[in-house]
C-alpha cells in the first residue's frame, strides 16, 4: 500500500503563468501529450472542427482563443503525479490567477523569446514572489526570430531580481533553430519539424568539446555553441536547489512548444527540482502534508462545467492526510460535517471519481452553494489558512435582463458567478439594482455571454456613474449600522452579505473616509480560509 510519504514525494503541483500569447496554453497541451494524458494536442487557434486546447473548454474560450478561467489537469510522468493549473494570461481575468497561485507549490513562467518579460508576466511573478513560490522559466518560440539569449537572461535577472541558471542553451533561432544543448547532463537535442511526434532523447556528449558535435552540426554552429556555453558557465552561477526553492534562483529552459521541443527537459527538471507539497502556515500553526488528519481549502468555484446539469464544483487543494471517497470532513465556516460521496479529479472539463487523493492533489467537490472560495475543510481542529483575497473592481456597470420577468433568474445567475469569483456583484440598498464590478472591460462581454448561454438570460449593461467600490469594516458594529443608515443611497451588499460603499467619484470617496475615520474602506477583502 502506498504510504503518505511516498505519495507526497512524487507529487508536483504547479501553475503556468505568462503574458497573453506567450504560448502558455500550447505548452500546457504539450505537457499533457508528453505525460500521456492525451493522444493529440489541441490547437489554441484551431479552425472549424480542428482540435481545441483541452484547458480552454468554455464556449467563450473556444470562440476567442484565450483562457478566461483556470483549469486543473492531473497526469502522470516518470512515476510522478503532476497537478497542472493553467491560468488565464489576460489581465482582465488576473484575479482568478491570483487565487489559483495560493494552491500551488511552484510555477512555470513562460516567456516569448521575441518579446521578453511583459507587463502581465511581471505582475504574476510578483504574486509568486509574495508567496515564496519557486519559478522555473521556459523561454518559448525559438522557432521564430528571437532576441539574443544573453539579453533575455539579463532582463530576467535585472527586472525580476532573480539569479538565472540556463538548464539548456539554444542553437540558432527562427529558421536556423537546430535544437538545444542540455547544460545539466551534456546532451545534444536536435529539433524535429514534426509537431506530432516527440523529439528523440538526444545524443550524450562527453562535454561541450566532444568531437561528436561536429557530426551533427555545421562547423559555424558548433563554434558559436562552444563560445556561448563557455560564456554562460563563466557568467552564471551553478544551480542551487535551495536558492531555487526559496524563490531566489530560476532554472531557464529554451524551446519551442509548438514543435514539441524542450518539453521533456522541462518535465524532467520539474521531477528533479520542483518541490513536493509544502507545509502550510495556519492560525493553529504549521500543517505538514505528512499529518494524519485530512485538511484542505477551496481556492476556486466553477459553475456549469457540465452545461447539461447546471453544476457547481468547488476546487479544493488538499494540504494534509490521505483523502478517501466517502469520508466525512468538517466545513469550518458552517461547522457542518460533509460526507464526500462524489469527489473528482480533473483533466480540464473531463473528470473521474477520486477514490483517493493525497496532499498536493486538487479535487473537485460538487457544491450546491454551501462551499465558497476561502472555505477550509478539516478532520482535525478548526484552522485558518492564508487569506485568499478579493480585489476591489476597477469598472462598475449596472446590469438588467432584456426580459423584465427574468430578473430573479438574473439574480441567481449573478450570485453563482460571483461565488465563482468571475466578477464582483453588488445589490443596492435602494432600488435593488444589480451592479457588476470587474477588473477589465472584456469581463463584461464574457459575463454577458455566459449569462446568456449558461442561464438563458439575455442582458444589457448600462453605465452606473460610479467611481469605486470599497468594502466597509469597523471594530464597532454600531458604527457600521449608522454609516449604512446615513448613506443608504450609496450602499450595497455583495453576494456574501458584506457591506459595500459605492462612491460616485474620488471626492465622494475621500469625503466618506474623512467623515468616518473609525471605518475602514477596503480595496481588498480577505476571504479567510
| Predicted local confidence at residue 309, as pLDDT | 54
How big is the CA angle at 408 (ends 299 and 67), to the nearest 5 degrees? Answer: 35
What class has domain 4-175+238-273?
Answer: alpha beta
Statement: residue 157 has pLDDT above 50:
yes
Choose among 435, 417, 311: nearest CA to 95.
417
Any alpha helices (H) in 378-505, and if so which ranges? 407-420, 442-455, 477-486
Over range 403-423, report the average pLDDT.
87
Counting every residue written for the chain, the total comes to 529
Q: Kindly state the average pLDDT of the residues 306-318.
A: 76
- Any idea what DSSP says for residue 211? T
pLDDT at 149: 96
Q: Given the C-alpha cell 439594482, which residue does it identify?
A: 433
Helices 149-160 and 119-130: angle between axes, nearest 10 degrees: 50
Q: What is the DSSP string of 237-279?
A: PPP-HHHHHTTSEEEEEE-BGGGTBSHHHHHHHHHHHS--SPP
pLDDT tens string 494-516: 988 899 999 999 999 999 999 99
What would the grid cell of residue 115 be?
Answer: 518579446
pLDDT at 529 over 70: no
- Please state, in angstroms and rounded to a whole number, the distance separating the CA atoms of residues 200 and 204: 12
Cα–Cα distances (Å) from 231 to 47, 145, 163, 238, in that order, read: 44, 22, 16, 13
Instruction: Give me the pLDDT at residue 41, please.
Output: 47
> Could you tell me how many helices (H) and strands (E) the chain has, helices first?
14, 33
Distances (CA, A) of 488 to 394, 428, 518, 520: 22, 8, 18, 17
Share of the chain above pLDDT 90, in %: 56
C-alpha cell at 107: 510555477
* Statement: residue 35 has pLDDT above 50: yes
pLDDT at 307: 56
Whether the CA torsion 358, 313, 106, 381 is positive or negative: it is: negative
Q: Which CATH code of 2.40.320.10, 3.40.640.10, 3.30.70.3280, 2.60.120.260 fits the domain covering 389-527?
A: 3.30.70.3280
Q: What pTM was computed for the model?
A: 0.78
Assess whether pLDDT exceeds 70 at residue 310. no
**Mean pLDDT across 406-431:** 88
Q: pLDDT of 131-151, one tens digit each?
A: 889 999 999 999 999 999 999
* Local structure of 207: helix, strand or coil: coil
Architecture of the domain spanning 280-386: 3-Layer(aba) Sandwich (3.40)
Kindly report, residue by residue over 245-265, the tens digit of the pLDDT.
999 999 999 999 998 899 999
pLDDT of residue 196: 56
Indicate if the pLDDT at residue 94 is higher than 70: no
Report the distance separating Cα 90 and Cα 104, nearest Å. Answer: 20
Q: Say if residue 441's pLDDT is above 50.
A: yes
Confidence of residue 53 (pLDDT cuts 50, 70, 90): very low
Q: Region 297-318: what's the mean pLDDT?
A: 76
- Please check whether the two domains, 280-386 and 389-527, share a CATH topology: no
Which of 393, 429, 421 is closest to 523 using CA atoms? 393
Residue 204 has a pLDDT of: 84
Helix, strand or coil, per DSSP, at residue 176? helix
Domain coordinates of the chain in residue numbers?
Answer: 4-175+238-273, 280-386, 389-527
Q: Is the pLDDT higher at 61 or at 214? A: 214
The Cα–Cα gap between 135 and 129 comes to 9
Give the mean model confidence (pLDDT) for residues 471-487. Answer: 93
Amino acid at each position: 500500500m502506498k504510504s503518505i510519504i511516498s505519495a507526497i514525494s512524487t507529487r508536483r503541483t504547479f501553475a503556468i503563468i505568462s503574458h497573453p500569447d506567450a504560448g502558455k496554453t500550447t505548452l500546457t497541451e504539450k505537457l499533457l501529450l508528453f505525460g500521456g494524458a492525451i493522444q493529440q494536442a489541441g490547437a489554441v487557434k484551431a479552425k472549424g472542427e480542428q482540435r481545441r486546447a483541452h484547458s480552454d473548454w468554455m464556449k467563450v474560450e473556444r470562440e476567442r482563443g484565450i483562457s478566461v478561467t483556470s483549469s486543473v489537469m492531473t497526469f502522470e510522468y516518470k512515476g510522478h503525479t503532476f497537478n497542472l493549473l493553467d491560468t488565464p494570461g489576460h489581465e482582465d481575468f488576473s484575479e482568478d490567477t491570483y487565487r489559483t497561485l495560493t494552491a500551488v507549490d511552484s510555477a512555470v513562467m513562460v516567456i516569448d523569446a521575441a518579446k521578453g518579460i511583459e507587463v502581465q508576466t511581471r505582475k504574476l511573478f510578483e504574486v509568486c514572489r509574495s508567496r515564496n513560490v519557486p519559478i522555473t522559466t521556459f523561454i518559448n518560440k525559438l522557432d521564430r526570430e528571437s532576441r539574443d539569449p544573453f539579453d533575455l537572461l539579463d532582463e530576467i535577472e535585472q527586472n525580476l531580481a532573480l539569479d538565472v541558471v540556463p538548464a539548456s542553451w539554444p542553437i540558432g533561432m527562427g529558421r536556423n533553430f537546430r535544437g538545444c544543448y542540455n547544460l545539466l547532463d551534456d546532451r545534444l537535442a536536435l529539433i524535429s519539424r514534426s509537431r506530432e511526434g516527440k523529439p528523440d532523447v538526444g545524443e550524450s556528449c562527453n562535454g561541450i568539446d566532444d568531437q561528436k558535435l561536429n557530426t551533427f552540426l555545421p562547423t559555424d554552429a558548433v563554434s558559436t555553441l562552444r563560445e556561448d556555453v563557455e560564456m554562460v558557465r563563466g557568467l552564471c552561477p551553478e544551480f542551487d536547489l535551495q536558492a531555487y526553492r526559496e524563490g531566489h534562483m530560476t532554472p531557464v529552459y529554451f524551446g519551442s512548444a509548438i514543435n514539441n521541443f524542450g518539453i521533456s527537459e522541462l518535465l524532467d527538471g520539474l521531477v528533479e527540482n520542483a518541490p513536493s507539497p509544502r507545509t502550510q502556515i495556519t492560525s493553529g500553526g504549521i500543517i505538514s502534508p505528512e499529518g494524519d488528519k485530512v485538511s484542505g481549502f477551496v481556492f476556486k468555484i466553477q459553475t456549469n462545467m457540465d452545461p447539461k446539469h447546471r453544476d457547481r464544483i468547488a476546487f479544493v487543494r488538499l494540504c494534509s492526510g490521505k483523502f478517501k471517497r466517502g469520508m466525512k470532513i468538517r466545513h469550518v465556516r458552517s461547522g457542518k460535517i460533509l460526507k464526500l460521496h462524489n469527489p473528482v479529479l480533473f483533466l480540464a472539463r473531463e473528470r473521474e471519481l477520486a477514490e483517493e487523493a493525497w496532499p498536493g492533489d486538487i479535487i473537485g467537490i460538487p457544491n450546491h452553494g454551501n462551499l465558497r472560495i476561502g472555505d477550509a475543510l478539516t478532520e482535525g481542529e478548526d484552522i485558518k489558512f492564508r487569506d485568499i483575497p478579493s480585489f476591489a473592481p476597477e469598472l462598475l456597470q449596472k446590469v438588467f435582463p432584456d426580459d423584465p420577468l427574468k430578473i430573479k433568474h438574473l439574480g441567481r445567475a449573478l450570485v453563482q458567478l460571483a461565488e465563482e469569483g468571475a466578477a464582483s456583484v453588488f445589490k443596492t440598498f435602494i432600488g435593488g439594482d444589480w451592479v457588476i464590478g470587474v477588473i477589465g472591460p472584456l469581463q463584461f462581454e464574457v459575463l454577458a455571454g455566459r449569462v446568456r448561454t449558461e442561464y438563458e438570460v439575455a442582458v444589457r449593461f448600462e453605465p452606473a456613474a460610479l467611481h469605486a467600490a470599497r468594502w466597509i469594516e469597523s471594530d464597532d458594529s454600531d458604527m457600521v449600522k449608522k454609516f449604512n443608515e446615513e448613506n443608504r443611497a450609496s450602499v450595497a451588499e455583495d453576494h456574501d452579505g458584506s457591506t459595500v460603499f459605492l462612491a460616485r467619484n474620488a471626492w465622494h470617496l475621500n469625503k466618506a473616509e474623512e467623515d468616518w475615520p473609525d471605518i475602514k474602506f477596503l480595496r481588498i477583502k480577505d476571504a479567510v480560509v
